[in-house]
Structure 1
Amino acid sequence: MLTIRWCVRPTATASILLAVALLLGACGGAGQTGDGSAAGPADQAAAVANLDFTAKTIAGATFDARTLKGKPAVLWFWAPWCATCRAQSGWVSALAEKYAGKVNVVGVGGLDESGAIREFGSKVGAFPQLDDARGEVWTRFGVVAQSSYVVLDSDGRIRFQGYLDSPELDKRVAELVS
């Protein structure tokens, strides 16, 4: 019979459990408030300022985020090795097609080297894919995990930030278009 003994004092165990509970509680809201606006430090002025940057696409072209102003936008933060991201790519492409001309959709590949980002991004739908191997766009929006979305209204204010499933993403985008 194998016996496992914990080498942690009871007070340390309680501290660890408390830290885990706080961490899990902090993750539960995924950046969403009751009114649909983003939680945290992103106020209206900061959200608009977030669109004042350029980045490189997977093809090497310059992408100017100021072109997103005037229409709602969905920024999809993905990693090429992420199974969830791979599964989402089809319905994010369908969303981009469904709202073409009404909503800007931009993929932001990261958490890997440029070659892997370009390879996966080239297989995703016909909407811009950014090569953010250095994490500059991810940092700008405070994204820390792949398969996250930042949904912006037409004024560039963050309306949601975090994970969404397909029906919830579509619902949030439809609300911004109507």
Structure 2
Amino acid sequence: MRFTFSLSLFLALASGTANAQEAPASKCVVVFSQGSNMSPSDPQVNRMWNRLNDSFGQFVSAELKGAGQRVIEMPHPVEATDIAANMRRLLKKAQQEGCNLIVSTSMYADQQTHQFMSTLRINPITAERREFPAGTNYAIAQETFKKEQADPLTKETLDRLVASDIAKSLVGDYLNATK
């Protein structure tokens, strides 16, 4: 079962704030990696999704570092389903580090379309004029880039998928789009 507590849903709801100013113009990105296939009854399944998404986030981070960006990694387990708490931690870390982008990564099984999805989303961070209860004055702006790779959800496909290759392709598309 696929739960819809993903960061991308929260980012869509939280974007487009009034009174926004630009966040610090740095080459710092927060790579937020989290899957969305949480099993309430099978910790082994959760560990598998966590390992996969942590690895994918690390590969994305390595590609961004190779492009000269300073990267702060923030992997979140699939069990971390409190979107508001995740967002507070994410924005607080971004403000502490002076980052201006969130790179959201996820690999998951979409049971409705029978596809294995790999996603990369980019959201700028803006500075707000008022203080939020989260202890940060950062907010998330609208998504500026989104790339997904869909593969058939079969054992054969899963056996041949290489997370590092997918990360290289998705980050390469992002970097080419921002030249």
TM-score by length of 2: 0.36
Would you tell me which structure has more strand in proportion to its own residues? 2
TM-score by length of 1: 0.36
Question: Quick check: which has more Rg, 1 or 2?
Answer: 1
